[in-house]
Amino acid sequence: MAKEKEQDKQQDTKPQEELTEWQKRNIKFLKKKEAEELEKKKQQEKMRLERNPYAASQKQAEDDEDKDSKEKVADKASDKKKESSEFSEIVESDQPKPKKVKKPKEKKERSPLQKAIRHALPVLLGAVLVLAISIFLVSPLSKKKVITVEGGNRATQEDVLSASGISSSDYFFSFILNRSSYMHNILKNDKLIREAKMTYHFPNKFTIKIKEYNIVAYAQTDDGYQPILENGTRLGVVSSQDLPDNFLTINLSSEKEIEQLIKAFSKLDKSLVQQIQIVSSADSSTTSDLLNLEMHDGNTVRVPLSELDEKLPYYDKIKQNLTENSIVDMEVGIYTTTSTIESEAAAEKEKAQNEANADESQTESTDESTELTESNDTESQSEVSQEASATSTETDAVNDTSSTQQ
């Protein structure tokens, strides 16, 4: 036992050498082989003991002694094994792990028939596709299509299809390719429509979605009221039953002024435009485009058409301070007045005008009398001169006669 302890100490003091992977596998193989041989010997010994009972009891005693000694040796070996395993773990952690080499995948070789099919497959698919398209174009299905129109209130489906130029003889594929041109025709030929878009649904259904221009005002004519759209287009005369409860009436004769007015309205807030009831010309001698706006609240606004989108928004603030129906004049600056004040001012102006006219007429009559007096004086003077000349003529004649007699 003392010798074994000394040997263990000597082994512990020796530096542990690093084992290679092959050495580890070899040691493992040897241990396995040794265990197999030991197991084989045990089997043989067991068979021998079964034949000789006395030897079996003796062997049992020896085995007990060997067992005790082996347990001690095993304890020491386990301690050594732990130390060596810890050391090997430290060494393995320091060493880089070997990279796994991927085995190249073996490619399966295709047969000549498979290669031929693979090369011919794209050609076959293309030929089948061309054949299917050709059959479809020849068949009546190539011209069969279902078209619906959505979003129209005033424009009917017949009107939209007529404006688009779509024909029942148009082929399916040409119809798909020329969708943009059809939509352009709708916007060009139908003034009611602001936007048009076509969508396709399998297999042969098409939907045309349209958006129409809104009616912003009505023009009053001798025949009735004509709706005016956002783009300035006038529609046909509508009956009084088709008119809404509150609507804007435009009484302007110039189409250019109406288009300019609609553009100005598009820049204003909708709530402000809805307050206007009637738009008419103010017939101003100083401002040719001055408009007269009659509001639903009873007020009147005078504003130039060229400055409508700039000045009219101030009306919302001004009307809050008005206590009675007033006139908001925005022709030059902005000020408020009333019809009473304006009528009084107009009466005073007319009175002053009449007085001025009377003064002018009196001055003219005075001038006429002066001219008449002067003309009379001139005539009397001419008569006196004529008489004097006649007298002198007679005197000369008498003198001539007397001289002749002598």
Label the pairing between strands 335-337 and 300-304: unpaired
At residue 170's C-alpha, the angle toward residues 168 and 175, to 5°, is 120
- Are 239 and 224 in contact by the 8 Å Cβ rule? The answer is yes
Give the mean pLDDT of 219-245.
87
Give the mean pLDDT of 63-68.
65
pLDDT confidence of residue 400: 46
pLDDT confidence of residue 391: 44
**Domain spanning 215-337: CATH 3.90.1150.10:** no
- Are 258 and 250 in contact by the 8 Å Cβ rule? The answer is yes
Chain-centroid distance, C-alpha 288: 39
Label the pairing between strands 335-337 and 327-329: antiparallel
Instruction: Delimit the domains of the chain by residue range.
Output: 127-212, 215-337
pLDDT confidence of residue 399: 44
* Res 101 pLDDT > 60: no
- Residue 206's nearest CA partner among 246, 239, 177, 237 is 177
* Res 336 pLDDT > 70: yes
pLDDT confidence of residue 393: 44
| CATH code of domain 127-212 | 3.10.20.310
How far is Cα 73 from Cα 68, in angstroms, rounded to an integer?
9
Whole-number percent of the chain with pLDDT over 90: 30
229: Cβ contacts below 8 Å, ≥ 6 apart? 191, 192, 213, 214, 215, 216, 235
Question: Is the whole-model pTM more than 0.85?
Answer: no
Taking the CA atoms of 87, 93, 96 and 98 in sequence, report the sign of the dihedral they define: positive
pLDDT in tens, 252-261: 888 899 999 9
* Res 403 pLDDT > 50: no
pLDDT in tens, 271-282: 999 999 999 999
* Res 75 pLDDT > 80: no
* Res 164 pLDDT > 60: yes
pLDDT confidence of residue 374: 59
- What is the signed CA dihedral for 243, 244, 250, 251, rounded to 10 degrees? 40
Which uninterrupted H or E stretch holds 208? strand 205-212
Side chain identity at 244, as an amino acid letter? P
- Are 293 and 301 in contact by the 8 Å Cβ rule? The answer is yes
pLDDT in tens, 147-161: 999 998 888 999 999
- Are 155 and 192 in contact by the 8 Å Cβ rule? The answer is yes
User: Quick check: helix, strand or coil at residue 35?
Assistant: helix
* Res 365 pLDDT > 80: no
Question: Which DSSP symbol is given to 140?
Answer: G
pLDDT bucket at 402, cuts 50 / 70 / 90: very low
- Are 299 and 326 in contact by the 8 Å Cβ rule? The answer is yes
pLDDT in tens, 19-45: 777 777 878 888 888 888 888 888 887
Taking the CA atoms of 188, 191, 192 and 195 in sequence, report the sign of the dihedral they define: positive
Average pLDDT of every residue of the chain: 78
* Res 14 pLDDT > 50: no
Q: What are phi and psi of 330, to 5 degrees?
A: -115, 20
pLDDT in tens, 280-328: 999 888 999 999 999 999 999 999 999 999 999 999 999 999 989 999 9
Higher local confidence (pLDDT), 54 or 136: 136
Which uninterrupted H or E stretch holds 302? strand 300-304
